[in-house]
Chains A and B, each alone.
Chain A
Amino acid sequence: MNDMSIAGRGKLPSAEEAALVKKFLNDTTLFLGPDPEIMQNHDLMPRTADEDEAIAKVADSHIIAKIRDRIQAGCDEGYEMVEQMGAAPGAKWGDVITGVYSASGDLAIASAGGVLIFSALVHHPIKFIIKNWINDPTVGVREGDGFIHNDSRYGNVHNTDQSMILPIFHKGRLVCWVASTVHEGENGAIEPGGMPSMAESPSDEGLKMSPFKVVENYQIKRDILTFLQNSVREPKLQYEDMKVKLFACLRIKQRIEETLNTDGPEALVSTLRLTMENVRAEVKRRISEWPDMTVRTYIIQDSTLRENCVVKINCKLTKTGDRLIFDFRGSAPEFTNRATNTIVAGLKGMLAQVFLCYVWPDLPRGQAAFAPIEVITDPHSIVNCSYDAPNSQSLMSIFTGFTAGQHAVAKFLYSCPEKFTKVHAPTFNMINTFVWGGVSQHGETLGNLCADLNGMGAGATVDRDGEHALAPIFATMADIGEQELNEEEVPFLQLVSKKMTRDAIAPGKYRGGQGYTMMVATKDSEQWGFMTVCQGAKIPPLQGLFGGYACGCYPLSKVKGVDVYDVLLNTPEKFKHSIEEIMNEQPFEGASYTTHHMGMGFEISKRGELFMISQGAGAGYGDLLERDPRGVIKDIEEGLISPAVAARTYKVAFDPETLAIDEKATEEARAAERKARIARSRPYSEFVKDWSKPTPPTHLQYFGAWGDDVETLYMGSPEKTRDAEVPRPNYMPHPKDVRIAELEARLAAVGAMGGEKQ
């Protein structure tokens, strides 16, 4: 119940009555679920009396800058500790953040490295603790306490991330919070590794820790720890990383205490508050420099990870004065039993990365940079899902949402004279890697993933090609880890790794950075398997920029009925080092060669069977006919593109033997192609008469709004829709049931059901 619904009737309750009603409801709440008041708000909390008082005493910008640098250094120190000591692969490659939060729970200062998406997301659980536990006599918040959290419905991205949260007191008064967050991986879900794509309800998603106390007197409580260990596949990891996060928080606490001792609590409180307020004000100023405009784009997801279908992420970005509004209405409705939904906070966290990583990387890391930016969605949408919807693969929707944002923002930045980075085509956005799990060669039960997901190809910029396999969109300063070290602990090898996938291109005047091939095969375990959790095997998950193209598609290839380790031992000449050669030449007799979309549920693998994927390319920028022919030849020399594809796509003429460019013939070929373009294209008004259709095509399962009408959301067919404002269940049938029905229909058609009783 909210205040409005009380006020709706004839007689208004007095303030006293309203307070009484509120107290009654608070006292009789049976379950403290995720709180919409907290979860839907990403702005800074109002300034408190304590903060006012502190700012009145200390507001000198030099003192503030000095203390901010000290706290920042402390956060970076905590970050280093987690990265060096953490057991989770995620910790080792920097899928980590540490930060200092205001007494009201806003993230004021965060570590410079790591996963900045967390910077917009860990404030929610802290606000939950503040709202519910501080004054609860059965819980309380005291010096020496530590709280743990992972349930994304209470904050953060997905349940594989765990946070440790400590309140910091000075002379008995709560002055701030510190927290450390790591992508831990394993969490006891229906599939190993913490990000199950098979989850059909939140109950399949493993550990669901609402924020609770797990540390007292700076000691982890053993009884609760044991319960958590008992709930996951990697009990040692659970313990080790809880300790690591706790000690990282304690180090930051030590740095805060040093500041408290030298400069006093007011200086600290003032620094935290003013840092956020100044960043927020600066963001509004920077936005006001953009042109007033509305930009529209959409990104198409081509699967739920269980089946291929067409899922729209719709984005309208409007800038007026110093306001910037992301309108995601018209995006697909929430899937009731598919894991690709996200809570809206996750989407906002990822959008914050557009700015912190790609537009204004000079701003202090924290919650304030995104605080003044507005976000609108439909209720129970794939980008603002309900409590009852699974969201363990929220990455699919937050990454495509990010790309919509990145694509739209670029169109505002081009004309804006004030730039802090170069205008940038979308970076690749899918985690093309292997999630793995099982029992290792050392008898350990493990569940996690290859850090290669961090090798996303970068988008091209206004004056430069995109970098290959550069960094993930959620952490521009992360690492892909040392595969050789990893292989000491896991029973599989990456037989091919870091070799660029030829012809998987994103052309343009400046081309996107490309991705590399990964081939894995299990070696030393009979209980080991893989999964892949990406979209984009049928439809590219990007858009190109200013005439540039997006990336192509990236499927999963499998070779079964072979032991490549035997092949390598006995007939090594048969082994090939590219997906192209292995799949086209089929060099292993008797083996089966198949292709699949990138949503492979956890699958046990046999020794020596090949699973092969490729990282993706970032998008291209500008008209490809303007690409410097020397750049094209360099790409051939570097194995990024084959000579035939290069000549056909870029219209470059060169000697096939020497690769010497024929400048004149190139010039002519390009002039001819420009003429050919004009000849084969049609005027817009004529074109849309044939092209544009009033409803989605019947041959596709389409989800989301169609065209300009964002009031109606399609739910899989032109006949099935929902009012955007009115939630409706959206169930998908089991893909195996769909396949069985197809096959049974075929059997029935040829009369081969054998008179089976129904």
Chain B
Amino acid sequence: MKVAMTEYLRIDLKSEKWECRVCDHEIAPARGNYKEGLLVHDRDPREIHPPIIDPDKYRFTFSPDPEWVRILEYCCPSCGTQVETEYAVPGHPPLYDMEVDLEALKAQWAARGEAAAPYAGPAVVRDEGHGH
């Protein structure tokens, strides 16, 4: 059984691996940090959040300060999908952000039965109106 854990990651309970949901690439052991199977890029935040006012004239420009914060971009080595981002203080070790208790996950899904596609959550639907 495979359980979708995030928009782009799933865990194969049988093989005990993190997998890419876009290209099925096997990323890393599910008992560990999925980031270890991804590629990382240290992005200058000004490239994503462009200065709105002139950086030659002003100290503050609407862009993050690249000396103060960086964006770590994690992508799938096979398909290049951006799986996660992490706004990080320069030099701060990346976080082990999802440490899964695999045995508990297996037990939970064994009780639930086959994993369906993840449910997006309740939608706002038009009311039928009062019939009386």
Contact = CB atoms under 8 A, between A and B. Distances in A.
Given A552-B64, A677-B41, A678-B39, A540 B69 contact: yes
Contacts of B52: 501-504, 579-580
A664 interface: no
B116 interface: yes
B42 A507 contact: no
A469 to B, nearest CB: 17
A597 B60 CA distance: 7
A583 B65 contact: no
A740 interface: no
A554 B49 CA distance: 11
Contacts of B91: 691-693, 696-697
Contacts of B105: 291-293
Interface in B113-132: 116, 118-122
A552 B104 contact: no
B11 to A, nearest CB: 9
A684 B79 contact: no
A543 B86 contact: yes
Contact of B60 (A550, A555, A682, A684): A555
B84 interface: yes
Contact of A546 (B38, B79, B80, B83): B83
A312 B74 CA distance: 22
Given A549-B85, A595-B58, A294 B116 contact: no
Interface string B37-69: 111111001001110111001111111110111
Contacts of A700: 67-68, 89-90
A681 B75 contact: yes
Contacts of A542: 87
Contacts of B77: 678, 683
B98 to A, nearest CB: 6
Contacts of A243: none
A417 B53 contact: no
B15 interface: no
B36 A684 contact: yes
Interface in A613-632: 614, 621-626
Contact of A677 (B39, B89, B95): B39
Contacts of B99: 293-296
Given A423-B121, A580-B52, A677-B80, A692 B36 contact: no
A593 interface: yes
A93 interface: no
Contacts of B8: 546-547, 622-623
Contacts of A580: 52-53
Interface string A517-551: 00000000000000000000111101110111111
Contact of B64 (A320, A538, A649, A685): A538
Contacts of A504: 49, 52, 62
Interface string B94-112: 1111111100110010001
A302 B118 contact: no
Of the candidates A411, A546, A626, the one having the most CB atoms from chain B within 10 angstroms of its own CB is A546
B87 A421 contact: no
Contacts of A539: 64-65, 68-69, 87
A77 B57 CA distance: 54
B90 A697 contact: yes
Interface string A666-710: 000000011101101111110110011100110110100011100
Contact of B7 (A501, A538, A546, A697): A546
Contact of A547 (B40, B50, B84): B84
A616 to B, nearest CB: 10
Contacts of B101: 291-293, 320
Nearest to A552: B49
A658 interface: no
A40 to B, nearest CB: 28
A159 B13 CA distance: 51
Contact of A684 (B38, B45, B121): B38
A109 B94 CA distance: 42
A621 B60 contact: no
Interface string B15-50: 000000000000000000001111111100100111
B18 to A, nearest CB: 12
Of the candidates A502, A580, A623, A688, the one having the most CB atoms from chain B within 10 angstroms of its own CB is A623
Contact of B121 (A421, A543, A544): A421
Nearest to A578: B52
Given A423-B121, A507-B48, A414 B116 contact: no
B69 A538 contact: yes
Contacts of A421: 121-122
Interface residues of A, number: 93
A584 B50 contact: no
Contacts of A622: 7-8
A549 B48 contact: yes
B12 interface: no
Contact of A417 (B41, B85, B119): B119
A298 B98 contact: no
A576 B53 CA distance: 14
A682 B40 contact: yes
A537 B90 CA distance: 17
A362 to B, nearest CB: 9
Contacts of A687: 39-40, 42
Contact of A553 (B37, B64, B73, B96): B64
A422 interface: yes
B97 to A, nearest CB: 5
Given A295-B98, A552-B64, A411 B80 contact: no
B68 A302 contact: yes
A130 interface: no
Contacts of A546: 6-8, 83-84
A548 B108 contact: no
Contacts of A697: 89-91
Given A539-B87, A682-B40, A702-B89, A415 B82 contact: no
Given A293-B100, A597-B60, A702-B89, A675 B71 contact: no
A291 B102 CA distance: 9
B120 A422 contact: yes
A700 B50 CA distance: 23
A82 interface: no
A250 interface: no
A680 B41 contact: yes
B2 to A, nearest CB: 11
Contacts of B73: 677, 681
Nearest to A699: B67
Contacts of B81: 547, 623, 625-626, 674
Contacts of B5: 291, 411, 414-415
Contact of A691 (B36, B42, B64, B87): B42
B49 A553 contact: yes
B100 to A, nearest CB: 5
Given A297-B95, A302-B68, A540-B69, A550 B87 contact: yes
B24 to A, nearest CB: 16
A300 B53 contact: no
A310 B108 contact: no
A293 to B, nearest CB: 5
B36 A685 contact: yes
Interface of B: 3-8, 35-42, 45, 48-50, 52-54, 57-65, 67-69, 71-75, 77, 79-87, 89-101, 104-105, 108, 112, 116, 118-122
- By Cβ-Cβ distance, the 3 closest A-B pairs, closest first, are A552-B49, A674-B80, A555-B60
19 contacts: A292-B101, A293-B101, A300-B69, A300-B87, A300-B89, A421-B122, A422-B122, A502-B52, A546-B6, A550-B85, A552-B48, A552-B62, A584-B53, A621-B7, A681-B73, A687-B39, A687-B42, A691-B91, A692-B93
Given A415-B118, A504-B52, A681-B39, 10 more contacts: A291-B101, A291-B105, A297-B97, A553-B49, A624-B82, A677-B73, A687-B40, A687-B42, A691-B93, A691-B94
